[in-house]
Amino acid sequence: MAQFAKTLPTIRLNLEKDLSRKGLPKEKVLALIVSLMERTSIRVGNNIYEKLYGSFGLTTLKDKHTEVKGGSVSFSFKGKKGVYHDVDIRNPKLARMVRRCKEIPGKELFQYYDEDGKRQSIDSGMVNDYIKEISGEDFTSKDFRTWSGTVKAFLAFKEHGCAETETEKKKVIAFAIDKVATQLGNTRTVCRKYYIHPEILSLFESGAIQKYFDQLDAIEEDDNKAELTKEEKIVLSILEKAV
């Protein structure tokens, strides 16, 4: 997880490079999907789940699941385990690209034009191959969700503050996990087991997390959009010490 965080600036720079490509080639649409994934934590999706359960993820979304208004994009769809998702983001650049994708003929939201000008579909395998390519590492879409869940858990603990008694600690941990689970569209059990790094929970339980809250307040935000956010920098420092 720490290695993923260290690689994020490189990933983000490569995403920006591919988002700047002309037209709607494969690399640009893949960069759009990964950029949306990073911002929304929506699952990548796959055709099997769509066919068997009628559930969707980014690569299987249809035009009807998306609405673009100005610089904002809204996603509304049934995800894994039958959980319904309503996700809104405001990003004029990405909104323009989603609108262009919707203009491509066909029901699928994310398609691209190949070198012969023919429409082609995107699948989860393409997305994961692309992530490996732009990161230079063996990362997948799941790493984005795990990193997001871990950072969100840290911020949820900071929002509530440290707890004194064991009873209060349990309540705050449940609060944080529920908050992350809601944002990721998971159950509390799955979220705790797979999407929150255990070191964050251990630090909260011991009370040692307070010094990281203090460090977060002292850091000034970096204007470089590709770099880690200040909360990401703190979480990375936690994970590096846990190794």
The arrangement of strands across the sheet holding 72-78 comes to 66-69, 72-78, 84-90
In this structure, the answer to whether residues 55 and 175 fall within a common structural domain is no
CA angle 146, 209, 186 (to 5 degrees): 25
Q: Could you give the CA distance from residue 205 to residue 172 in angstroms, rounded to a whole number?
A: 10
Count structural domains, the chain.
2
- Residue 219: predicted pLDDT: 80
The two three-digit tokens of residue 57, written as one number: 């993820």
In this structure, the answer to whether residues 135 and 22 fall within a common structural domain is yes
- CATH number, position 21: 3.90.15.10
Q: Which amino acid is at 23?
A: G
Percent of the chain clearing pLDDT 70 (strictly above): 98
Q: Which tens digit of pLDDT belongs to each residue from 100-139?
A: 999 999 999 999 999 999 999 999 999 999 999 999 999 9
The two three-digit tokens of residue 70, written as one number: 């100005």
Q: Which tens digit of pLDDT belongs to each residue from 186-236?
A: 899 999 999 999 999 999 999 999 999 999 988 876 657 789 999 999 999
Q: Which tens digit of pLDDT belongs to each residue from 80-105?
A: 888 899 999 999 999 999 999 999 99
Q: Could you give the CA distance from residue 208 to residue 170 in angstroms, rounded to a whole number?
A: 16
Q: Could you give the CA distance from residue 108 to residue 15 in angstroms, rounded to a whole number?
A: 22
In this structure, the answer to whether residues 195 and 226 fall within a common structural domain is yes
The two three-digit tokens of residue 84, written as one number: 């319904």
The two three-digit tokens of residue 115, written as one number: 């070198």
Q: Which amino acid is at 136?
A: G
In this structure, the answer to whether residues 45 and 163 fall within a common structural domain is no
- Asked whether residue 1 carries a pLDDT value surpassing 80, the answer given is yes
- CATH number, position 231: 1.10.132.120
Structural domain boundaries enclosing 31: 2-139
The two three-digit tokens of residue 86, written as one number: 């309503």
